Chains A and B, each alone.
Chain A
Amino acid sequence: MTAPLDRRPQSPVSAVFLIARREFVTRVRTRVFIIGTALILVAIVGYVVLQQTVLSKPGNLNTYKVAYLGEAQSFADPLAASAKALGLAVERRQVNDESQAESDLRKGDLDVLIRGSASSPQVLVRDQFSPTLHSLLLSLVRQRVLDSQLAAAGLNPAAVQASLASATVQVQTLQPLKSAGGGNRLEVVIAGFAVALFLYIALLTYGQFIAQGVVEEKANRIVEILLSTVKPQQLLIGKVVGIGLVGLIQLGVISVFAFAVTTVTSTFTVPTAAAGVLLYGLLWFILGYFFYAVLFAAAGSLVSRTEEVQSVALPITMLAIIAWLVAIGVLTPMFDGSPMSTVGIALALIPFVSPVLMPTGMATGDISPWLALLGIVVTVVTSAAATWLAARIYANSVLRLGARVKLRDALGRRS
């Protein structure tokens, strides 16, 4: 015990490494982390299973049960065929008479009854007639009327149909919509939306961990021992890096797992599209995480009791919530195939919004590589500035116990 200890000078890097390692090891080992990650994985499997069995099974949502009576029976095949072309299914039901049809309609066993003549059919439904079926039926009826008129005029309806069919409109696109890996655009947007949601939750969760961790160290005074041997900046960076690695590992595991599950079950037609979004998502987690994490740490350092963390971190939480609302506003219109709006692209360049919009924008190609690079530079520069500011606030407040430290004092010089 009296032998001199092997003591080395501590470099800032090794101090940060030791702090980050402790944060990482003690958190990854906790039951909360392991069970939490497992639950998310289970949720992913659950979602995919749901999608496979319920949501995308043909004929569950968009199937119409249609019965025909009399002359109207001639509509059965053409209606089914044209409905199928639109991705709808028409299932033919047999009814003996109108009264049976009416009771079936009331019970919900039947959606539509078509009766009457071939040229002017009548439709009976319970509450409303599907507009799609309506227009399909209407065009069939018009076709018949047209055919009989053509025949009466001595023309061959089939020939007229053929020349009608050959008439086309040529569409030229000046700026064709791109899609990474040639994947289905809609799938990229769906995956991008999911990634944005995950990033939003992850940034908030890990940010809260950091604020909580900072206050805990302050509350139990270990920070006094730590700061007699490391600089506040080292403690701050070590903490942010350590917890960030926990987050990265968790998101990495989730991403790989989600990719594997969706590939195996062919949820996406082009797995590489989803992979692109996931990779961009991980990149933007790292970039966005630093920005949010240092601010959460600075907020945490202002208070001395864990109960006060929520309120002191509220402004930063609000930033994340605003980012998520912006993401909903920008990404939802893209579900019908439109490109990301110019406003959306501009918003994606704002550092605190970037993480939720950039992965989708980059994966769909709506945000050009140059703009994406600009977004990365802006975020890195802003994060560096935020780190400087946060380190100052942190260094000035983390040893001040008791009442909440005023921001103006925290930005001042004295500790």
Chain B
Amino acid sequence: MAEGGLQVDRLSRRYGDLVALRELSFEVGAGELFGFVGANGAGKTTTMRIVMGVLAADSGEVRWGGTPVTFETRRRFGYMPEERGLYPKMRILEQLVYLAELHGVAPGAAGRSALAWLERLGLGDRRNDEVQKLSRGNQQRVQLAAALAYEPELLVLDEPFAGLDPVAVDVMSEVLRERAKAGIPVIFSSHQLDIVEQLCDRVGIIQAGRMVVTGTVTELRSSGPHRYWVDAPMAGDDWTAGLGGVTLVRREGSRSLLELADGADEQAVLRTALATGPVREFRRDIPPLSELFRHVVAEARAA
């Protein structure tokens, strides 16, 4: 990950007395989709604005391919700010071409690229409309096209899915996946954890300016306690009593939720269950990301 990719290294930033970021670090490799998750005010937007250079960090560094990011490198980053930023009274295509040209793309190429992205996002026939005449969701697509039209080498998207209908969410997801596949690191923040779960290679959970956890979705989800659901209708209430390192969390009808201590053998649990009679269900209980998120946030708050 040393070459290509973005490294955020111990960023700190305070606003007056409020500490927005404390030594926040993470990395996003080439072609990786990184989901940035955290409560409101946790510091996601501050981090993204520092990466894009529209806000200065008090300390820490942002590196691109191993070297500190400069104004010139940032010009090759694509950015979608949290509050959408477009000229409401400017025509869509003209606006995209303007932004692409400002990023150094030659006029002809800028026009072709902007039009291609508008077509791709289903707005080709509205290219001469003013932005303010579009619905919110469509404005968001234009915003995405604006970030893509100059073929950036990194995408930084603040809440790209907020306010989108399911179809638009699919289009957006597909485009992000495709960009990542083309080797571009993509960072985005979202409160829609189900989308993050489906889409991201890796997730970072940020809490009060600190990166609490980073890892792949599978890693994160299995990082919690090892719990298993076992449905053994013939088993008695205390069927797990003889098993070392196994606690019964609760019973729901014929189903038992068990928590296994580190090193406890789940196969031994299954064998014991089979010994009581038929077993209809035996599965690892993997909490959804949202539950994990709540857990992590609560833990960090308590600490």
Contacts and interface: CB of A to CB of B under 8 A. Distances in A.
A1 interface: yes
A228 B52 contact: yes
Given A5-B113, A228-B77, A222 B103 contact: no
B116 A224 contact: no
B74 A221 contact: no
Interface string B88-115: 1110000000110111111011100100
B182 A227 contact: no
Interface stretch (B53-61, B192-200, B244-252, B258-266): B53-61
Interface string A380-415: 000000000000000000010000000000000011
A225 B150 contact: no
B75 interface: yes
A221 B117 contact: no
B88 A220 contact: yes
A18 B90 CA distance: 15
A107 interface: no
A97 interface: no
Which of A8, A26, A228 has the most CB atoms of chain B within a 10 A radius of its CB?
A: A228
A19 B103 CA distance: 12
B165 interface: no
Contacts of B83: 220-221
Contacts of B75: 10, 228-229
Given A15-B102, A221-B85, A229 B74 contact: yes
Given A5-B113, A224-B52, A228-B79, A26 B146 contact: no
A22 B107 CA distance: 13
B86 interface: yes
A221 B45 CA distance: 13
Interface residues of B, number: 41
A186 interface: no
Contacts of B120: 1
Interface string A178-222: 000000000000000000000000000000000000000000111
A18 B105 contact: no
B95 to A, nearest CB: 9
Given A5-B109, A399-B55, A220 B77 contact: no
Given A228-B75, A399-B54, A415-B56, A221 B84 contact: yes
Contacts of B98: 18, 22
A140 B150 CA distance: 90
B102 A224 contact: no
A337 interface: no
A5 B105 contact: yes
A225 B79 contact: yes
A118 to B, nearest CB: 80
A12 B146 CA distance: 22
A405 to B, nearest CB: 13
A7 B120 CA distance: 22
A340 B110 CA distance: 56
A222 B87 contact: yes
B49 A8 contact: no
Nearest to A11: B104
A9 interface: yes
Contact of B106 (A2, A7, A221): A7
A176 interface: no
B151 interface: yes
Interface residues of A, number: 29
Which of B53, B71, B85 has the most CB atoms of chain A within a 10 A radius of its CB?
A: B85
A220 B71 contact: no
A4 interface: yes
A402 to B, nearest CB: 10
Given A225-B146, A229-B74, A231-B71, A6 B109 contact: yes
A18 B102 contact: yes
Contacts of A222: 85-87
Contact of A223 (B53, B85, B104): B85
A367 to B, nearest CB: 43
Contact of B117 (A1, A4, A224, A415): A1
A258 B59 CA distance: 60
A229 B102 contact: yes
B81 interface: yes
B106 A6 contact: yes
B101 A18 contact: yes
A227 B55 CA distance: 10
A312 interface: no
Given A10-B75, A224-B81, A230 B102 contact: yes
A2 B103 CA distance: 17
Contacts of A7: 103-106, 109, 150-151
A229 B53 CA distance: 9
Contacts of A231: 71
A81 interface: no
A38 B72 CA distance: 45
A325 interface: no
Nearest to A1: B116
A9 B71 CA distance: 12
Contact of A224 (B49, B109, B150): B49
Nearest to B74: A228
A220 B55 contact: no
A18 B105 CA distance: 12
Contacts of B105: 5-8
Contacts of A26: 87, 89-90
18 contacts: A5-B109, A6-B105, A8-B104, A9-B72, A18-B98, A18-B102, A220-B83, A220-B86, A220-B87, A220-B88, A221-B82, A221-B85, A222-B87, A225-B81, A227-B53, A228-B74, A399-B54, A399-B55
Interface of B: 49, 52-56, 71-72, 74-75, 77, 79, 81-90, 98-99, 101-106, 108-110, 113, 116-117, 120, 146, 150-151, 182
Interface of A: 1-2, 4-10, 15, 18-19, 22, 26, 220-231, 399, 414-415
Instruction: Across the A-B interface, give the 4 residue pairs with the lowest CB-CB distance, nearest first.
Output: A222-B85, A221-B85, A6-B106, A221-B83
Given A5-B150, A221-B81, 14 more contacts: A2-B182, A7-B104, A8-B104, A8-B105, A8-B106, A10-B75, A10-B103, A19-B102, A220-B85, A225-B85, A227-B53, A229-B75, A229-B104, A415-B56
